Chain A
Amino acid sequence: MFAISVIGQETEKKKERPVRSMFESSILIDDQTSIIPLKNTLVMHIQHRFGLIKTNGASDLFGIYAASANTRMGLNYSILNNLSVGYGITRKNMYNDFQVKWAFLKQTRSGSIPLNLAVYANMAIDGRKKTAFGDDYEFINRLSYFTQLIAGRKFNEWFSMELSVSYSHFNAVPTEDIDVKGYEHSVFGAGGHMRFKFSPQSSIVILYSMPIFIEGMAENTDVLNTWSPNFGFGYEVATSTHAFQIFVTTANGILPQDVYMYNTSELSETEIRFGFNITRLWGF
């Protein structure tokens, strides 16, 4: 009887294992995924966005040598199999971001849990000189926040998809006339990304996200934000310790709250740029 019980438990455990690699990296173009590498894994991210492809054409190699590039370098560490913390620094506004991600539900191979669910949050410090903040400088004016709920599903070996809802907030925004004409402090957002895996190591990845501005909640009568959606399309290759994504995207902000709040580029041939992400893993 005891033996049967043990076998029963083992079978149960076997059924409850999470699905294999829904996505290859904890980031996909400009989005976070619900993926957290195994406990005690250190991850280095290098995220780069080049200048616009069409502005100078071949004369700056389609934006690759343009001066307006943006880069983020960051480190994340998995404290637990479902909890990671990280820090990164972005060229644009010298954002220093501190982030945490908790994957509280993982899709199982048996299907008993049909989805991955994760929450991601960050706090960024705008690292520019004090003069960038006007006369009434206070440290809290440098802070911005981003919170996101991510739901993901691996449909089969070749197709995975995630949807997200988010909230971005900046403590200080440019204003021309307080409560009349200026930028909003906060915005909701929604987005999704998907992966079409066409070989053991290679995939096509697509991303779309958009700010959701609710007029009834507007602080200003004349809102200056452009509220442009972000689009990305690219190729991903993954090895044992790396994931490399090369893509075309509209936003150059990299930091999610900047993308949702300040992206002004639409999906058109004059407003797209090349970019890449490199993820490197070290297990301890």
Chain B
Amino acid sequence: MKSLKHITLVFITLIFVSAFMAFVTPQDQKVGEKWDVPEKYQKMENPYAGDASLKKIGKMLYSKHCKSCHGSKGLGNGSKAAQLETFPGDFSSSEFKKNSPGNLYYMTYVGRDEMKSFDKKISDEEDQWAVIMYIRSL
């Protein structure tokens, strides 16, 4: 019974510490420079455009590979985002939505600096485009 009280005390302390930490703001992050996307990628077409069956696949892959930095809604507020030197970007912003599918393909599967290539982690072409379509839907 005594040990149960101790465990309860530890849990309550943890909850308070977590709540306190939620108000700690991250250090200022720099905004990434404009991407220099080669023309070949800019004009790239999505061969799976309109395939609604890929929506769920895109969401699952996004959750596994992207969410920890980009956040569940693509606002750049994932659990690891604060550790990055560069703000991961806001996928819901009008500026971001101007990107063509090919631009996003280049950013995701060629990458640069902290945004490393996910070409090997998401290697199947259909899966790669499923993620791009999901990002564009955010």
- Hey, which bits of chain A sit against chain B, CB under 8 A? 14, 17, 20, 38, 41, 58, 157, 199-201, 238-241, 283
Contacts and interface: CB of A to CB of B under 8 A. Distances in A.
A38 B124 contact: no
B60 interface: yes
Interface centre among A200, A201, A241, A283, by most chain B C-beta atoms within 10 angstroms, is A200
Given A20-B57, A20-B127, A58-B3, A200 B120 contact: no
B8 interface: no
A283 B116 CA distance: 12
Contacts of A283: 120-121
A107 to B, nearest CB: 14
Contact of A200 (B59, B118, B127): B59
A283 B63 CA distance: 20
Contacts of B62: 200
In terms of DSSP, what is the predominant structure of the interface of chain A? loop
Contact of A241 (B56, B121, B123): B121
B47 to A, nearest CB: 10
A200 B60 contact: yes
Contacts of A14: 126
Tell me the interface secondary structure of chain B in the complex.
helix
A238 B64 contact: yes
Interface in B72-107: none
Interface of B: 3, 56-57, 59-65, 68, 118, 120-121, 123-124, 126-127
Given A17-B124, A240-B121, A200 B64 contact: yes
**Among all A-B residue pairs, the 6 with the closest Cβ atoms:** A200-B63, A283-B120, A200-B60, A58-B3, A240-B65, A240-B121
9 contacts: A14-B126, A17-B124, A17-B126, A20-B57, A58-B3, A200-B64, A240-B68, A240-B118, A283-B120
Nearest to A200: B63
Contacts of B118: 240
A238 B63 CA distance: 10
Contacts of A201: 63-64
Contact of B68 (A17, A200, A239): A239
Contact of B64 (A17, A38, A58, A240): A240
A14 B127 CA distance: 12
A58 B61 CA distance: 40
B7 to A, nearest CB: 8
Contacts of B121: 240-241, 283
Contacts of A38: 120, 123
Nearest to A199: B63
Nearest to B59: A200
A238 B126 CA distance: 21
Contacts of A199: 63
A133 B120 CA distance: 47
A240 B64 CA distance: 5
Given A283-B120, A283-B121, 14 more contacts: A14-B126, A17-B126, A20-B57, A38-B120, A200-B60, A200-B61, A200-B62, A200-B63, A200-B64, A201-B64, A238-B64, A239-B64, A240-B64, A241-B121
